[in-house]
Amino acid sequence: MKFFVSCAKGLEYLLADELQALGATRATAALAGANAEGGLAEAQRAVLWSRLASRVLWPLAEFDCPDEGALYEGAADVPWHEHLAAGHTLAVDAHVSGSAITHARYAAQRVKDAVVDAFRARGMERPSVDVERPDLRLNLVLRKGRAVLSVDLGGGPLHRRGWRATRHEAPLKENLAAGVLLRGGWPALYAEGGALLDPMCGSGTLLIEGALMAADVAPGLQREQLVRDGMPVPTRWTGFDLEAWRRLLEEARARAAAGLAALRPVFHGSDLDAQAIAAARQNAQAAGVAAAIRFEARDIDALAPPQEARGLVACNPPYDRRLAADGALYRRLGQALQRAVPQWRASLLCGDAGLAQATGLRAAKKYQVFNGALECALIVCDPVQPAPRVEAEARPLTEGARMVANRLQRNLRRLRSWRSSEQVTCFRAYDADLPEYAAAIDVYTEDEGVGRTFLHVQEYAPPPEIPEADVRRRRQELLAAAREVFGVPHGQVAVKRRERGKGGSKYGRFDQRGERLVVRENGARLWVNLFDYLDTGLFLDHRPLRRQMAREARGKRFLNLFCYTGVASVQAAVAGAVATTSVDLSATYLQWCADNLALNGLGGSAHRLVQADAMAWLEAERGLYDVVFCDPPTFSNSARADDFDVQREHVRLLRAAVARLAPGGVLYFSNNFRRFRLNTEAVAQFAECVEISERTIPPDFERNPRIHRAWRLTRKP
């Protein structure tokens, strides 16, 4: 069974790993959560044991929902008497997007009406509404005309652990605190004898969460519960597996008793606010870990070295609208940590990248996370050491370089909301926006690792009448602007010149660094090489089309022709394709594809790699596929295959590809030949064909809408 577990944005990949560790057979990161597969027992274990989850949603119904009438009918079709006892209470949380239904409260009301009417129709006592502690909490997600109605197995927000006796100003949610600790590697450090320090501890959330984590106390063990059959339960949903929950509770209680008895007093908290310290002590007492934590009212400048030689500093300095951010305070924090714990690791949740930089600390890893609606920068420093000085330019930016820098900053602001909502970490930041600075600048951010940012700069060949001295000057101005805006050293900038190809000419190798990076796109981890080849292994402009195909490929067979490095195949497999076949003539690209599959834990006979001329292979193949991607080169004159010209051969190619479609299958065809003309009359003889180019161009390529064209083909009846 598939279910959804939500979390704070930025913790999705940690959550997916945690769910698999808790027994889910599969878990993949999604926006603000993870899609998990497993039984009800695994979902209930997540309710009790997940430190990162906000809610665990078990689906009851999914249906098309073009309007409020369809919403009511879809909800009314659920046999509610099988899920809720007569006279019990109900609450509905709704999240809607789109134009059909725009008010979440109205949508929740219609679902509630459907449940009530279903009970009345059976002559049963109708449920009443209790928004605080209902017997059954439902969750409705309505997006793009599709509704998913689920049971909230936890009965409410799972970040509420049940120990918070006193709320201090702007407390950090417990599941986000767990993310800060996990990014800092706290469980392993504690096992190695390390300590935990929070010099701005507020009401103690990070320290208490860290102590409970070290003591192996289940996050849901102390949560306020309902009672059913004499046992505390998070929900009175009748489908809840009481016997499985009983076993989970017994196991959790035994582990907590043993862990708390063995908990070492290695937790240190301080804060300038004496009232915050008093609240922290009360919270620690309620959590059962007060004996292990030492709290002091102390200014950050008076921070003293703990007795432990190694440990983790976990801290959430002030930054939100209620607690005004102060760059000077962040500098004092960085200086205090360098004095007191120079060999420790630090995991700091900062208000933004500027405040993180204000600490003056060298960040080994950087993550974007959200504290509610506030976008934050989480940096991990290992050890706590000053950041290297940024390479200084010999001179201030020239007027031309400043123009490029201003345009880059404007583009970053324009793309910021989209990048955040779509979780885009590799994108085009500049595409010859200023004609005299004719280049494309792509940004690649490492996934995990040290989280470094790299720039891939492709200089377009200038007209022959432009003097070489002007070409060199403009190149240096563009690079100076890019390095200043992104704050990257020379070694993390790959610079290439893109010439116009002639008759299938090959670009060959540019460098011999052999340096590969792992990046992430559409939920898949991917290898890229920015320095050794003209192309990096990831065509950024195809991002939306790959996402669309991956969604359609779930539970289906996916064929990738001219597969290059197999990115589309990997993303389809991660999304749940039952089988993928990737065809390319290049052994180098197929090995790259194999590496990408392995990087995501995929392999075996379900994911086939075929080294062959795609056209010849297609015409000999007899298998059928549900989703086919065909993105051929403009020209190819390989010695191992017939010469290929996409304009000349596309009808033959598409006819052969459409013949391999299973009933109901779909073929996506694209190419980047600017002068390409589809032979619509010939293609219409065997396929229904619709151009979808406009909706496959992402926002970062809006300046270059002809970067590629794409069509959707289905076989004619």
* 686/577 same-domain check: yes
Q: Is residue 390 part of a domain?
A: no
For the chain, the domain total comes to: 4
Which residue type is seen at 287?
Answer: A
Specify the pLDDT at position 643: 78
What gap in Å lies between CA 116 and CA 108, rounded to an integer? 12
- Each residue's pLDDT tens digit, 550-586: 999 999 999 999 999 999 999 999 999 999 999 999 9
Kindly state whether residue 682 falls inside one of the protein's structural domains: yes
| 229 belongs to a structural domain | no
Q: Is the pLDDT of residue 680 over 90?
A: yes
Domain membership of residue 431 (yes or no) is yes
Q: Are residues 198 and 141 in the same domain?
A: no
Asked if residue 235 belongs to a domain, the reply is no
Residues 197 and 137 in one domain: no
Say if residues 572 and 606 touch (Cβ distance below 8 Å): no
Asked whether residue 136 falls in the same domain as residue 189, the answer is no
Residue finishing a domain among 449, 476, 498? 498
Domain match, 75 and 148 both? yes
Contact 329, 317 (CB under 8 A): yes
What is the reported pLDDT for 508? 44
Structure tokens at 206: 């990070």
pLDDT of residue 388: 75
**Residue 491 sits in the same domain as residue 558:** no
Q: What is the CATH number of the domain that holds 474?
A: 3.30.750.80
The pLDDT confidence band at residue 488, using thresholds 50, 70 and 90, is confident
Q: How far apart are the first and last CA of the chain?
A: 34
The mean-pLDDT minimum among 35-39, 308-312, 462-466 falls in 462-466
Say if residue 568 is in the same domain as residue 692: yes
Contact 319, 240 (CB under 8 A): no
Q: Which residues 6+ apart lie within 8 Å of 115 measured at CB?
A: 75, 78, 80, 84, 90, 127, 138
Tell me, what's the pLDDT at 166?
61
Smallest CA-to-CA distance from 170 within 317, 55, 290, 359 is with: 317
Quick one: 600 and 649 in the same domain? yes
pLDDT attached to residue 327: 75
One domain, residues 443 and 415: yes
| Whether residues 493 and 376 fall in one domain | no
The mean pLDDT value for 359-387 works out to 89
Instruction: Give tens-digit pLDDT for 617-664.
Output: 999 999 999 999 999 999 876 656 677 899 999 999 999 999 999 999
User: pLDDT per residue over 161-216, tens digit each?
Assistant: 999 876 555 579 999 999 999 999 999 999 999 999 999 999 999 999 999 999 99
User: DSSP characters for 29-74?
Assistant: EETTEEEEE--HHHHHHHHHH-SS-SEEEEEEEEEE-SSHHHHHHH
Answer for the pair 253, 285: CB distance below 8 angstroms, yes or no.
no
pTM exceeds 0.75, yes or no = no
Domain end position, chosen among 98, 119, 152: 152
Provide the residue range defining the domain that includes 82: 2-152
Question: Is there a single domain that holds both residue 13 and residue 98?
Answer: yes
- Flag whether 512 is in a domain: no
Residues 352 and 424 in one domain: no
Residue 467 lies in a domain: yes
Q: What is the CATH number of the domain that holds 374?
A: 3.40.50.150
233 lies in a domain? no
Which CATH number do you get for residue 146? Answer: 3.30.2130.30
Question: For residues 460 and 439, is the Cβ–Cβ distance under 8 A?
Answer: yes
- Cβ pair 180, 215 in contact under 8 A: no
Which of 347, 381, 415 corresponds to the end of one domain?
A: 381
Q: How many residues does the chain have?
A: 717
Is the Cβ–Cβ distance between 182 and 61 less than 8 Å?
no
pLDDT of 333: 95
Task: Give, for 354, the enclosing helix (H) or strand (E).
Answer: helix 353-358
